[in-house]
Amino acid sequence: MKKYDYLIVGSGLFGSIFAYEANKKGKKCLVIDKRSHIGGNIYTKNIDGIQVHQYGAHIFHTSNKEVWQYINQFAEFNRYTNSPIARYKDELYNMPFNMNTFNKLWGVITPIEAKNKIEKEKKEAGITNPKNLEEQAISLVGKTIYEKLIKGYTEKQWGKKATELPSFIIKRLPVRFTYDNNYFNDIYQGIPIGGYTKIIEKMLEGIDVKLNCNFFDNREELEQLAEKIIFTGPIDEFYNYEFGELEYRSLRFETDILNEENYQGNAVVNYTEYEVPYTRIIEHKHFEYGTQPNTVITKEYPDSWDRSKEPYYPINDERNNKLYEKYKLLASKNPNIIFDGRLGEYKYYDMDKVILKALNCVRNEM
Ligand code: FAD
Ligand code: UDP
């Protein structure tokens, strides 16, 4: 008899939901994380009464009622609606692409005028069947918006030419012919009052958790502790990169506490020109309508990835997806290890998708 039913590698959203649900069903779980805190990338830290999103802005949004009700049992959510401002040199535009953006850019007033303008630019570019992110973007919003608001941001974010990137990335953003600056199309949206860390704390209450514990430093001993492993780290690392490395994109965050009340007047400002080295500045208090005398801002710098850095984004192009399938096939041969979450599955998942995945995983297991 082993001491635990499950060893859960990673205390992010996936691992924590799995642990919470398995614990409720009487299973014994040990959750480990190599970081010094729980929560993975949704971790928030209280600085001067402001919940700081330590690993980039996290806005909860979903159209799935089950997911919304599920997460609401752990926290109350405020009515925050994400409406980033895009800054190109000294011009400011509303995001996502909507009538406010089109009006500022071209002076158009009606949706028909905006559609005609985009159609004209698309025709001039001669794109009928978009094959990459650049072509997809131009066919959605025309060349002017592509050049001012997409090209520079995208190429610094991913470290690749927009012509070498898959088009699905740009399809994440809505294009709307209404005067609506909401970044997401989902029915439910908000920020958990008191921060995301509190949600994870509730999930992990009464469960054994070991922090500063890297699975690979003590692999053999840890594997002996549990019947099964839930692994939410990178799948290629688990197999010692035996088929080669999957590619990731990393980030560097620079956080400052400023002795002023309001730095930029909005939670998220995107810097869309290539020459500015960061992609966005987050002013955390605006997620919660904070009125503190100070403010905390974070600059988000895209970074290349190597094994010494955090893999924040999978790069789901053809080469990497094929390689991932090889690892997945290898993993399917051992039913005692389950790979899931954003890194385990190598998918660009938002939080709501991760919740669904974790709930499905528990259902399949128990
Ligand atoms: P993670 O949070 O990555 O957790 C994995 C955990 O495993 C980490 O804590 C890691 O330390 C640990 N781990 C890895 N390897 C080991 C090891 N060898 N030993 C021990 N522990 C290990 N989603 C939204 O819905 N809305 C947003 O606005 C949003 N914004 C985002 C912004 C950024 C910059 C990023 C990067 C992501 C964003 N997301 C957003 C996505 C969201 O962060 C993920 O969906 C979610 O955090 C994934 O949870 P996870 O448990 O799969 O992974
Ligand atoms: N994007 C852009 N300009 C912006 C914001 C986003 O070109 O001002 C593109 C960019 O390619 C980015 C993608 O849209 O990678 C998805 O944006 P999202 O905000 O969903 O990225 P995430 O929050 O996941 O980093």
Q: Residue holding tokens 């040199």? A: 89
Give the position, in ligand 2's atom list, of the atom nearest the Cα of 95. 8
CA of 128 to the centre of ligand 1 (A): 37
Give the position, in ligand 1's atom list, of the atom nearest the Cα of 213. 20
For the chain, domains (ranges, CATH) are 4-78+188-247+315-365 (3.40.50.720), 95-169 (no CATH)
Does 176 qualify as catalytic in the annotation?
yes
Does 87 qualify as catalytic in the annotation?
no
% the chain with pLDDT above 90: 96
Does 307 qualify as catalytic in the annotation?
no
- CB-based burial of residue 139 (10 Å sphere; 0-12 exposed, 13-18 middle, 19+ buried)? buried
Q: Is residue 26 predicted with pLDDT exceeding 90?
A: yes
R_g of the chain, CA atoms, integer Å: 22
What is the per-residue pLDDT across 218-270, written as a single tens digit (0 to 9) for each? 999 999 999 999 999 999 999 999 999 999 999 999 999 999 999 999 999 99
Q: Is residue 1 predicted with pLDDT exceeding 90?
A: no
d(CA 44, CA 320): 31
What is the per-residue pLDDT across 294-344, written as a single tens digit (0 to 9) for each? 999 999 999 999 999 999 999 998 999 999 999 999 999 999 999 999 999
d(CA 298, CA 38): 20
Question: Considering 176, 188, 288, 342, which one is annotated as catalytic?
Answer: 176
Does 252 qualify as catalytic in the annotation?
no
Q: Could you tell me the pLDDT band of residue 128, with boundaries at 50, 70 and 90?
A: confident
Mean pLDDT on 87-116:
97
pTM: 0.96
- Supply 147's token pair: 């050049």
Beta strands of 241-352 (E only): which ranges? 248-258, 268-271, 280-283, 295-303, 313-314, 337-339
Q: Could you tell me the pLDDT band of residue 172, with boundaries at 50, 70 and 90?
A: confident
Contacts of 126 (CB under 8 A, 6+ apart): none
Q: Is residue 72 predicted with pLDDT exceeding 80?
A: yes
d(CA 197, CA 328): 31
% the chain with pLDDT above 70: 100
Q: What's the pLDDT score for residue 235?
A: 97
What is the per-residue pLDDT across 267-298, written as a single tens digit (0 to 9) for each? 999 999 999 999 999 999 999 999 999 999 99
Question: Considering 249, 271, 312, 352, which one is annotated as catalytic?
Answer: 249
Whether the CB of 12 sits within 6 Å of ligand 1: yes
d(CA 241, CA 323): 10
